[in-house]
Every structure is written in C-alpha cells, then in structure tokens.
Amino acid sequence: MNKIAFIGVGIMGRSMVRNLMKAGFELHIYARTRSKVEDVISEGATFHDTIADCVKDAEAVITIVGFPTDVEEVYFDAGNILDSAKEGAYLIDMTTTSPMLDQKIAEEGTKRGFHVLDAPVTGGDTGAKNGTLSILVGGSREDYEACMPLFEAMGTNINYQGESGCGQHAKLANQIMIAGTLSGVCEALTYAKAKGLDLQTVLDSVSTGAAGSKQLDTFGPKILAGDYAPGFFLKHFVKDMKLALTEANMSNLNLDVLSQVLANYELLQAEGCGDLGTQALIKYYEEEMDV
C-alpha cells in the first residue's frame, strides 16, 4: 500500500498529509479550493480537481471532512468515492460522524469489494502536527491490521474498537468526556475570577493535582491569554455533541451534562463564535458574569 488519496485537507488533514508523506507514502489530494492547499502541494502532494480523479488508482482513500453531510457527499453524490475508487481499495473515514452513516458506507462498500473502516481521531491540531493522534478504529480487524502502517504514520495511540461504527461510538464517548471536562475548567476559572484570585496562580496550583487534565493543560493558558484560535472548531464540537446526544437518546440515556454543555455552545455558535476554538466556551461564562 503506497498510493494514498486524501480528501479533506483542513486543520487536521493538512498535518496528517504531511506525516504520511514523511513516512514515504505517495499522496494524492482533493480540496474544494486549491489555493488553500498550495503549501502541501509544494511539499509533494499531487492535487486533483475532482474526487473521482483523485481516488481512481489509490490503494487507500482517507477522508476527514467537516460534517455528516460532507461525508454523504464524498461517498454517495455524483463523482463519489464508491463509484470511482478501484475495487479492493481501503476506504478509511476519519471524520467524526454518525456511526449509522459509517455503517451505511461499510455495507455499501463491502458489496462493491472495498475494505471499509471508520477511524476518527482525537488529539487536535497539535496531535496531528506531531503525529501523535489517538486513532479509534471500527471495521474488520484484518483490515485494521492491514492499515496499521498508515495509522502509525499519523498517530501513536491506535486501538481497534470493534465492528463498523464502533470507532465512531468511541470517539463520541471521547467528546462527551471533553464536554464535561472543559466546562468544568471554564466554571472553575469563572469562580476563581469572581473571588478575586490570580488565575495563573490557580492554574499552576491545581494542574498537577487531582483536577489536572489535558483540557486544563491545553486550554487553561489560552483562556487566560484570550486566545480563541481554533485547534478544533467550536462548530465541529457542536456537531459532535449533537451526534452523541442523538445516539444517547436512541439508547434511552439521559446525559444531563452533555445536554447543558451543548446548549451553552449552541448559544455561542448563534452569536457568531462557530469558527473559534472550543476554549471559547469561557465566553458563555463571561457573558453570565456581565448580567
């Protein structure tokens, strides 16, 4: 497996493409706007104007796009991957999307002779840049093992979760954990600020104790600096939480924390914060303090 087609060269995808090229893979990419990927083209990736042309000779096709509608488009709309990839290719969806949608892709893809995996990632833009992503894989174990060289070029914590769709379920569990943790960080900082504490001292004091977390380490300093640049878009986190809540409802689960955090983020998105990073949740609490 050497010739790889990559669809979705965004914040995460750009670094993943670079790491695949560093590992010796031949990368063919498609993006809606060529000017946005000129950097990776100059570094050796081959650009194609259509998805069909990009995937036609690839031994593996990797997708990491924005929303479930985008996944539907690249796999099922005119000029799509399923109609254009060569038989026997490995189709790996690394988007965080609906488990049911990836099961649909797997069912249709298997009928057509493809090897289909869902393999969403976690680790943000930093993990993508450093090649240290956690990769959560669903599908056939045999296909998972066959694609291990690809996964190892992009991540370090790579785990088989089970049959098709299980990678997505594991990722949604991850997002539920993040929702609760990051909201806790924001609430704690809001409380400390209201009580007149020095926020940097608070961070230094609690980060190595029982309250320590990667969310605190990653976003605490950014919140204090007023840095809302996206390592992961707020609007994409809203999408992920909605997917998780839908799946929870289907299993008759009442996830109160997830529901409340989603409502807070949706308010921020309605106020035009969708393209900020997830740490912009602190803005919700700042607005509450101003009331």
Q: Compute how many other C-beta atoms are within 10 angstroms of the C-beta atom of residue 212.
A: 12
Sign of the Cα torsion 172, 174, 176, 179 reads negative
Q: State the pLDDT at residue 289.
A: 72
For the chain, strand residue ranges (E) read: 3-7, 26-30, 46-48, 60-63, 90-93, 115-118, 121-122, 133-138, 155-162
Give the domain ranges of the chain. Answer: 3-163, 169-286
Q: State the pLDDT at residue 78.
A: 83
Q: State the pLDDT at residue 151.
A: 98
pLDDT tens-digit map of 171-184:
999 999 999 999 99
CATH 1.10.1040.10 fits 169-286, yes or no: yes
Active-site option among 171, 235, 239, 283? 171
CATH code for the structural domain at 3-163: 3.40.50.720
Distance between CA atoms of residues 198 and 212, nearest Å: 18
Q: State the pLDDT at residue 291.
A: 45
Q: State the pLDDT at residue 88.
A: 97
pLDDT tens-digit map of 38-48:
999 999 999 99
Q: State the pLDDT at residue 161.
A: 98
Query: What percent of the chain has a predicted confidence (pLDDT) above 70?
Result: 99
Residue 19 above 80 pLDDT? yes
How confident is the prediction for the chain on average, in pLDDT? Answer: 96
Q: Is 214 a catalytic residue?
A: no
In this prediction, residues 199-227 reach a mean pLDDT of 97
pLDDT tens-digit map of 60-111:
999 999 999 999 999 999 889 999 999 999 999 999 999 999 999 999 999 9
Q: State the pLDDT at residue 124.
A: 87
Query: What percent of the chain has a predicted confidence (pLDDT) above 90?
Result: 95
33 vs 37, 39, 54, 216, CA distance in Å?
7, 12, 14, 35
